[in-house]
Each structure stands twice: as C-alpha cells, then as structure tokens.
Amino acid sequence: MNGQPDIEYFRGDWPAQKTYTFAYPPALFRLESGKSLGPVTVAYETYGTLAPDGKNAIYIPHALTGTAHAGTFTDRPEQEQGWWHGLIGPGKVFDTERYFIVCSNVLGGCYGTTGPASLNPDTGVPFAMDFPVITIRDMVRGQKYLLEHLGVKRLVTVAGGSMGGMQALEWAVTFPEMVDSVIAIAASERLTPLAIAYNQAGRKAIMNDAEWCRGNYYGRTYPVGGLALARMIGTITYKSKETFEERFGRKLAGKEHDVYNFFQDFEVERYLNYQGSKLVKRFDANSYLYLTKAMDLHDLSRGYPSPAEVLRRIVGPVLLVGISSDLLYPPGEIRGLAVELRRCGVETDYRELQSTFGHDAFLIEYDQLATHIDEFLKKRA
C-alpha cells in the first residue's frame, strides 16, 4: 500500500491503494461554506492505463458509505471485490483495457480521505464536529485536484449511483468543459424532504447515543448502537416492500413456540440488526453525519440564478437511470429531470431498471445497468 491514511482511530476494511495530498497551508482548500481546509488528503484507486493524451479517463464517485475500491485488482486476488465489480474490469462496460478508471473516497469520508476522524492540524486531535460542513460540490472540486495530479485532461464519463450520481451531475455542472458525458443512477438534483427526514432520523440515532459525546468518541467507546440504528433506518429505505416480503415475510428468527418472548426478533429484524452491526465495524459515525448532511444540503442549482440556467451548463449527453422500486429517488422525479434537461437542450436518455430491489438495485442489477450504459457509451464512440 502506497501512502497511509492520516487517521489514527479508524481505518476502513479496504484502505485505498494510493493517496494524494493537496492544499498545504497557506494555500488552503476553500469550501462552498466559505471555510477553508488543508492539507486535504484524497485516497484513491485507479484501474487501467491513462492514454498519453489524458482523455480516456472515467471518474466513478461513490455512494454514502462507499470506498475508493470500486473495481477489482485482478493481480491481487486476496483483495475483496470492489463495490461496482460487475461494471469495472477487463471487457466490462467500464473496460479497464480501454479506459483509465479513477475512484476516490469522498471528502468527509473515513476511508483515507480527510474527514471528521482526521487529525485537525490546528489542535492535533481529530476534528470531530469541528470539521467544517462539506457539500457535494466540495467533494467534486476536491476530485478535480486529484484528476489534475494524475494528468487526466478529459473524462469520457462520470458515472455513479445515489450520492455518487449526485456527484456525477455536479461534475457536469461545475466542470462542463472536462466532462464528455454523465451517467447518474438513482439520483436527482436534490433530495426530497422525505429523504431528508430519513437522514435526520439516522443522524439523531447517532447523536442520541450517550457514547457519541458530541463527536469526541475517538480513542474511547464508539457510538455503535447509534450508528447501527442509523444504518438500520437507511437499509429500510434502500430496499423495497417486495424485497422484505420475498426475503423475510413474517418468519421469526427463533422458534415459533417462543413467539411471545419480547426479545425474539422477526427475520427482517435480525437482518437489519446484522446490517447495522456490519456497518459499525467499517464506518465512522461522524462521517455518517457529515455525508448525510452533504446530501441533504445538496441542490444542483444553489448559487445559480435559476434551475434552467444550471442545467444549460451541462454539455451532455446525460444518461439518467431510475429504479422502478426506489423509495428514496422515485423514478418519476428522475424522469422529470430528464424532461427538464431536454427542455434545456441537453441530450438526455432516461432508462429504468425493472427491479424489486429498491434503491440498492444500482449495486445489484449489473446486467440491466451494463446494457443501458453500454448502449449509451457506444452511441458516443
């Protein structure tokens, strides 16, 4: 591994292959909020080779609890498969024999990129809640520094799902001259108030945990109960009614004769407990707070005179993908965005994953995704 993430108390299961640090004082990274941050370390991975003209790159932004490990290193079989392994690899839709694929951990994350668990250079202890509020736009602007450092001149596409899709759209608005196309899956220009409400419940779960200590739990007991509950709430919204019914129904986790035991769970409860306990081992609670806040605050048109004006900045083409059973980013909203984009003169395709997996389908329905993405990229080739 090349370059240790500079965080002391938390380390992801799959630390990124490489890191790049920029914004050394006094040339700090100025955030959308007006606050400044620096130095900023970005943990990243790359797959494939950059062409001499620097124009065969694809950037893959990740979702809420994702990492820079989107693809799979074929020469390192001991490593886990990346979170988008079905799409990234030799001969796959994001073909590593053709493209130079870059994925980095987001600003505010906990997998090697500077975030609330990183040491605050002013105090020598982790930032915790002294970390500044960051935005999707800040994430994207940080990624731009990384791509410049790597010699990337243009992006064939920026492709992501959920919070990754929000970043993909933001890339097309903030750096239109660099982005040849955009693929945003299960994502829109801004969250609905319902999605904000769910994120709030997750944050409350963490902040209610007595171990959270206003964020200063590093080196002490982690707020595991709170983070597990936040994940549980999140997981409910990432699935669909159908998934829960097909997979768990009303089956008890234990014995039928013990049904009146208050502490016996249904299978669905056991599953959600398990998802909670899994995340706790691999994620930082303060990062969860900052990243959900970044999602809530995100509004593609913030700071622009009108929503139409911001959409007209996008050069396109754009592929928007909705998921038929998505509760968080209802397909109707994404279809609506496609209509608006076309009205603003942006070439836009809308495709819909037919899936009962809910929002999670962007991490599962590889065949459908590959078909739509392949068709979209081939039209351009």
Question: 101 or 205: whose CB is closer to its own copies?
Answer: 205
Among 1, 27, 197, 339, binds its own copies (CB under 8 A): 197
Identify each DSSP E strand in 274-325 by its residue range.
318-323
Segment interacting with its own copies, rule: CB under 8 A, options 52-60, 100-108, 145-153, 204-212: 204-212
| CA atoms lying within 13 Å on the CB side of residue 122 | 9
162 classed as catalytic: yes
CB 3 within 8 A of CB 19: yes
Segment interacting with its own copies, rule: CB under 8 A, options 54-62, 100-108, 185-193, 344-352: 185-193
Q: Least distance (Å) from its own copies to the CB of residue 45? A: 30
Q: How far apart are CA 22 and CA 169, in angstroms?
A: 24
Question: 35 or 282: whose CB is closer to its own copies?
Answer: 35
Q: Does 137 bind its own copies (CB under 8 A)?
A: no
Q: Does 225 bind its own copies (CB under 8 A)?
A: yes
Q: Least distance (Å) from its own copies to the CB of residue 257? A: 10
Task: Collapse the DSSP code of 375 into the 3-class scheme (helix H, G, I; strand E, B; otherwise coil) and give the result.
Answer: helix
CB 30 within 8 A of CB 142: no
Q: Does 204 bind its own copies (CB under 8 A)?
A: yes
Crossing angle for the helix pair 136-150 and 285-297, nearest 10 degrees?
100
Question: 86 or 132: whose CB is closer to its own copies?
Answer: 132
Q: How far apart are CA 245 and CA 331, in angstroms?
A: 21
257 classed as catalytic: no
Question: 177 or 263: whose CB is closer to its own copies?
Answer: 263
Instruction: Give the burial string for 134-145 (b: 16+ CB within 10 Å, else e).
Output: bbbbbbbbbbbb
Q: Does 335 bind its own copies (CB under 8 A)?
A: no
Q: How far apart are CA 308 and CA 342, in angstroms?
A: 11
Residue in the block written with tokens 């768990």: 248
Crossing angle for the helix pair 193-208 and 285-297, nearest 10 degrees?
160
**Of 92, 91, 99, which Cα lies nearest the Cα of 50?**
99
Number of neighbouring beta carbons within 10 Å of residue 92: 19
CB 376 within 8 A of CB 87: no
Footprint on residues 275-314 left by its own copies (CB under 8 A): 289-290, 293, 296-297, 299
Q: What x-and-dash track marks residues 142-181 binding its own copies by CB under 8 A? A: ----------------------------------------
**Catalytic annotation, pick one of 138, 180, 296, 326:** 326
CB 239 within 8 A of CB 361: no
Q: Does 190 bind its own copies (CB under 8 A)?
A: yes
359 classed as catalytic: yes
The encoded tokens of residue 361 equal 């389908």
Q: How far apart are CA 67 and CA 159, in angstroms?
A: 15
Q: What x-and-dash track marks residues 94-133 binding its own copies by CB under 8 A? A: -----------------------------------x--xx
Segment interacting with its own copies, rule: CB under 8 A, options 28-36, 58-66, 87-95, 304-312: 28-36
Q: What is the DSSP letter of 357?
A: S
Segment interacting with its own copies, rule: CB under 8 A, options 27-35, 74-82, 89-97, 369-377: 27-35
**Catalytic annotation, pick one of 62, 69, 359, 372:** 359
Reading phi first (left if > 0) and then psi (alpha if -120 to 50, else beta), residue 66 is in beta
DSSP string, 33-46: TS-EE-SEEEEEEE
Question: 89 or 116: whose CB is closer to its own copies?
Answer: 116
Segment interacting with its own copies, rule: CB under 8 A, options 65-73, 142-150, 190-198, 367-375: 190-198
Which residues are near its own copies by CB under 8 A?
32-35, 129, 132-133, 135, 190-194, 196-198, 200-201, 204-205, 208-210, 225-226, 228-229, 232-233, 236, 241, 244-245, 248-250, 259-262, 265-269, 272, 289-290, 293, 296-297, 299, 330
Which residues are catalytic, by number? 162, 326, 359
